[in-house]
Amino acid sequence: MVLCVFVREKSLIKKHESMLKRLSDLHQSRLQQSASLKSDSDIKSFLNKFAESKNSIEAELDRCSRASDPESRDRLRSDLEKASATIADLEKLVAESSYFLPAYEVRSSLDSISQLKESLDVVNAKLLPRKRFAFKNKSLNRNPNNVVSAVVESEIRVASDEVLEEKPSFRVCDSPGFRSREGEVLVKRFDGEVNGDFTLSDLGSCEVRLIGRFRALFVHRLRDCKVFVGPVLGSILIEEVEGCVFMLASHQIRIHHARGTDFYLRVRSRPIIEDSSGVRFAPHRLCYEGIERDLKDAGLDEETGNWENVDDFRWLRAVQSPNWSILPEEERVPTVNI
């Protein structure tokens, strides 16, 4: 009798466990189906938005290329600047959507953006050819306080057409900045109202301290430098750096052709690397008087954790990219106060 009861109870337990397993499997299946539908919906929404924007840009570039009357040509510079900004927005859309897009959609979208940039460059070169830069023999105010400013201003304005044509998207001469320095400590304070763009170009073995918040940062050809930067309200574009250390806070960070460089970041969107190797990432460790206020005003006061969510646009396999890694804690520098 006891044995029968035991067998019956054991049978009921097995049935109960089997029912729970079926319910669990059904729940997981529904969750996966829901996630799949959401992913498919996101992808479809992205493709529609991307195609609409791409077609609009192509139509605008075609219209600009056909402009012939003087009144239309007077508006070309503004129209082409708007087209450039729209292409940048489209590139940002791809970056922000890359986490749910299939690899082939990411690559296809980036190829389309590259073609749009090439078309924009062709229209710019045809309709708004750049004038060559030349030194002007202007008399300088000999006040000692103004001599350094005059030298910096001449550095900002002088560049060759060859460099501009090689990197049309990199504003090496449009914005103020530090250029062509070796073994110096370079300090810039951004006080008061929000400043515009700033450029760091052709620096070797320098330490750069940019204190305060500003709109955008362009970094080009740095070697063995340490770069400490206050909050950037927009984007940071970094190209051709080697053996450097960067401490940055920004809404968007894109890194091209970096080698053996460490990045300490606070960033709203996922950092993007391309054609890079040996780059390592760690959380932001920069401090100066007033940085908390600057971070809050720039919308960067919250740590998102995106410093370790790096997208390698040249590595579209499912496994971890070998081109970047997390910087081990024992190798991280302590908080830097500038």
Q: Quick: pLDDT tens for 148-192.
A: 333 334 333 333 333 333 343 444 446 789 999 999 999 999 875
- Which range of 30-39, 100-109, 258-267 scores highest in mean pLDDT? It is 258-267
**Does pLDDT of 72 surpass 90?**
no
pLDDT at 20: 61
116 and 209 in a common domain: no
Lowest-confidence segment of 10-19, 114-123, 132-141 by average pLDDT: 132-141
Range of the domain at 220: 163-337
- Taking the CB of residue 193, how many other CB atoms lie within 10 A of it? 5
Q: Give the CATH number for residue 281.
A: 2.160.20.70
DSSP letters for 250-308: EEEEEEEEEES-EEEEEESS--EEES-BSEEEEE--EE-TTHHHHHHHTT--S--SGGG
Q: What is the pLDDT of residue 166?
A: 38
- Residues 76-92: what's their mean pLDDT? 82
Name the one residue in this structure whose structure tokens are 């515009």: 196
Question: pLDDT confidence of 123, banded at 50, 70, 90?
Answer: confident
Does residue 196 register a pLDDT over 80?
no
230-287: pLDDT as tens digits: 999 888 999 999 999 999 999 989 999 999 999 999 998 899 999 999 999 999 999 9
How much is the pLDDT for 12? 60
Whether 152 maps to a domain, the answer reads no
Residue 148 lies in a domain: no
pLDDT at 74: 63
pLDDT above 80 for 324: yes
Residue 66's CATH number: 1.20.58.1250
Same domain, 33 and 115: yes
How far is the CA of 87 from the CAs of 123, 185, 194, in angstroms? Answer: 14, 36, 24
pLDDT score for 34: 47
Euclidean distance between CA atoms 279 and 273, whole angstroms: 9
100 domain-assigned: yes
Q: Is residue 135 part of a domain?
A: no
Q: Given 127, 150, 174, which residue is the final one in a domain? A: 127
Distance CA(141)–CA(153), nearest Å, equals 13
Between residues 320 and 222, which one has the greater pLDDT? Answer: 222
**Is pLDDT of 135 > 60?**
no
> Region 123-127: what's the mean pLDDT?
76
Please tell me the predicted confidence (pLDDT) of residue 129: 63
Closest by CA to 209, choosing from 307, 288, 296, is: 288
- 108 and 252 in a single domain? The answer is no
pLDDT of residue 193: 54
Could you tell me if 88 and 196 lie in one domain? Answer: no
In a domain, 281, yes or no: yes
Q: How far is CA 181 from CA 135, 178, 199, in A?
A: 20, 7, 13
Are 81 and 188 members of one domain? no
Tell me the average pLDDT of the chain. 77
Instruction: Report the number of distinct structural domains present in the chain.
Output: 2
